[in-house]
Amino acid sequence: MIDKKTTDKARALYYGLLSKMFVYSTKEDRFEGIDDALAIITTNPLDEHSANAAKRLLEIIDTKGIDYLKEEFEVLFHLFYGKEVKTSASYYLEGIEAGEKLVEVRSFLARTKIRRDESFYKDNEDTIPFLLSFMKELIEEEMSGEKSYANIEHCLFNEVINPFIDRFIEQLFNHEKSDAYKDVAIILNSFIEFERLYFEIARPAKQEVIKTKKELEYEKEMARRAANRAKKEADKFQKSYC
Distance from C-alpha of 166 to C-alpha of 238, rounded to nearest angstrom: 48
The gap from C-alpha 131 to its chain's centroid, in whole angstroms, comes to 9
Question: What pLDDT score was predicted for residue 241?
Answer: 47
Question: What pLDDT score was predicted for residue 237?
Answer: 43
- Alpha carbon distances (Å) from 73 to 122, 150, 175, 189: 15, 32, 12, 18
- What one-letter code names the amino acid at 104? E
Q: Do residues 50 and 186 touch, judged by C-beta distance below 8 A?
A: yes
Rounded to 10°, the helix 149-156/128-143 angle is 160
Q: Do residues 131 and 160 touch, judged by C-beta distance below 8 A?
A: yes
Please classify residue 185 by burial: count the beta carbons closer than 10 Å to its beta carbon, then call 0-12 exposed, 13-18 middle and 19+ buried.
buried
Question: What pLDDT score was predicted for residue 227?
Answer: 56
pTM value is: 0.84
One pLDDT digit (tens) per residue for the chain, 242 residues: 568 889 999 999 999 999 999 998 878 888 999 999 999 999 999 999 999 999 999 999 999 999 999 999 999 998 766 689 999 999 999 999 999 999 999 999 999 999 988 877 788 999 999 999 999 999 999 999 999 999 999 999 999 999 999 999 999 999 999 999 999 999 999 999 999 999 999 999 876 554 555 555 554 555 556 556 555 655 554 555 44
DSSP for 132-187, written as a single string: HHHHHHHHHHHHTT-TTHHHHHHHHIIIIIHHHHHHHHHHHHH-TT-SHHHHHHHH
Question: What pLDDT score was predicted for residue 191?
Answer: 98
Distance from C-alpha of 225 to C-alpha of 232, rounded to nearest angstrom: 11
